[in-house]
Amino acid sequence: MSYNLLKGKRGIIFGALDENSIAWKTAELAHAEGATFVLTNAPIAMRMGTINELAEKTGSQIIPADATSLEDLENLISQSVEILGGKLDFVLHSIGMSVNVRKGKAYTNQNYDWTQKGWDVSAVSFHKVMQTLYKQDAMSEWGSILALTYMAAQRTFPDYNDMADNKAYLESIARSFGYFFGKDKKVRVNTISQSPTPTTAGQGVKGFDGFISYAEKMSPLGNATAQECAEYSITLFSDYTKKVTMQNLFHDGGFSNTGVSQEVIEKF
Ligand code: NAI
């Protein structure tokens, strides 16, 4: 069912790798809700993923960009405004990667070159995206910028490794830039803190199966799916959430406010 919530809105969607990606589901739904947008991902992900299929389905153009490269971002944003025929109403940053996680380095034995790469890709890239949007004055008034995060930014999940620190950094950037984007451009900036979700990035976390089952049993409403995350994101791009900004919004079936659940107690 579609409500035309994004009728006439223009945007950029980062991070659709394959059909499991949260960004993929968001792109499908944004299209169904009447938006037009440009799809983007890192050049290497273009070769690994299936983004062409999504572009065809949603009538979108693809512009490759490494989200850590200012040059790529400048090109992406100016070209998107041109292709879409006007300033942008929404931007989704759905990007995360830790080299330490990928290569199995423990939190207590980091390779700091990899740590740095991880925060550049997962957190500072959000600043770079926003700074480029800001400098090019590429956002429409009452536009909405959104990034995805995880609760390990607030509470310790040992296997989440340095991604926990990257997410804390990301959430802080959303608040800090949200102030300036709000004051100067009437644009809102938020993060959604999503349940564990079986995607390429999610499944990279050690012990993911146990992690996701535990969260499922702890959440009164159960884990939020990628599709449900897309649905929530669309409301944040719509005109019905104009004064929501600088927030970290938990989308997790109640997990973050649950101390313990009956199902978990019964396990002991
Ligand atoms: P995914 O693996 O489908 O998406 C991650 C994307 O980041 C990929 O498309 C990848 O190509 C892109 N990316 C990596 N390096 C990049 C770079 N240098 N430039 C541009 N793009 C780059 O996984 P998922 O789960 O859809 O991830 C989306 C977001 O959701 C991430 O921020 C992730 O941390 C967050 N998240 C995921 C959860 C999960 O359990 N899957 C839970 C909470 C948040």
Number of H helices, E strands in the chain: 12, 7
Percent of the chain whose predicted confidence (pLDDT) is above 90: 94
How many whole angstroms from 181 Cα to the centroid of ligand 1?
A: 24
| Integer-rounded Cα radius of gyration of the chain | 18
Q: How far is the CA of 94 from the centre of ligand 1 (A)?
A: 5
Q: Report whether pLDDT(49) > 80.
A: no
Cα 105 to Cα 196: distance, rounded to the nearest angstrom = 21
Which stretches within 85-185 are classed as H helix? 99-102, 112-119, 125-135, 163-185
Closest ligand 1 atom to Cα of 93: 32
Contact 162, 115 (CB under 8 A): yes
Q: How high is the pLDDT of residue 46?
A: 84
pLDDT at 4: 98
Spatial distance between the Cα atoms of 140 and 62, rounded to a whole number of angstroms: 21
Could you give the CA distance from residue 196 to residue 205 in angstroms, rounded to a whole number? 10
Region at 139 (left for phi over 0; alpha for psi -120 to 50; beta for the rest) = beta
235, pLDDT greater than 90: yes
Phi, psi values for residue 148, rounded to 5°: -110, 140
Does 204 have pLDDT greater than 90? no
- What is the pLDDT at residue 243? 98
For the cut 90, the answer to whether the pLDDT of residue 205 exceeds it is no
171 pLDDT higher than 90: yes
CA neighbours within 13 Å on the CB side: how many for 101? 25
Contacts of 135 (CB under 8 A, 6+ apart): none
- Which residues contact ligand 1 via a Cβ below 6 A? 14-15, 17, 21-23, 41-42, 45, 66-68, 94-97, 121, 148-150, 194, 196-197, 199-202
User: Is the predicted pLDDT of residue 15 greater than 90, yes or no?
Assistant: yes
At residue 182, does pLDDT exceed 80?
A: yes
pLDDT at 42 (0 to 100): 97
Whether the CB-CB separation of 35 and 11 falls below 8 Å is answered with: yes
Q: 263 alpha carbon to ligand 1 midpoint, in Å?
A: 30
Atom of ligand 1 nearest to the CA of 150: 43
Can you tell me the mean pLDDT for 247-262? Answer: 98
Q: Using CA atoms, how far apart are residues 108 and 85, in angstroms rounded to an integer?
A: 49
Indicate if ipTM > 0.95: yes
The number of the ligand 1 atom at minimal distance from the alpha carbon of 195 is 42
- Chain centroid to CA 241: 18
Report, as an integer, the average pLDDT of 151-158. 96
Q: Give, in order, the Cα–Cα distances in Å from 213 to each of 197, 204, 208, 266.
A: 11, 16, 9, 14
pTM of the complete model: 0.98
Residue 252: what pLDDT?
Answer: 98
Q: Quote the mean pLDDT of the chain.
A: 97
The Å distance, Cα 91 to ligand 1 centre, comes to 15
Decide if pLDDT at 74 tops 90. yes
- Between the CA of 268 and the centroid of ligand 1 the distance, in Å, is 34
Q: What was the pLDDT predicted at 197?
A: 97
User: Residues 29-50: what's their mean pLDDT?
Assistant: 93
CA–CA distance, 202 with 250 (Å, rounded to integer): 17
Task: Give per-residue pLDDT as tens, 129-148.
Answer: 999 999 999 999 999 999 99
| Chain-centroid distance, C-alpha 88 | 17
Confidence band, pLDDT 50/70/90 cuts, at residue 152: very high
Task: Find the mean pLDDT for residues 147-167.
Answer: 97
pLDDT at 13 over 80: yes
Element (H, E) at 218: helix 208-218
pLDDT at 1: 79
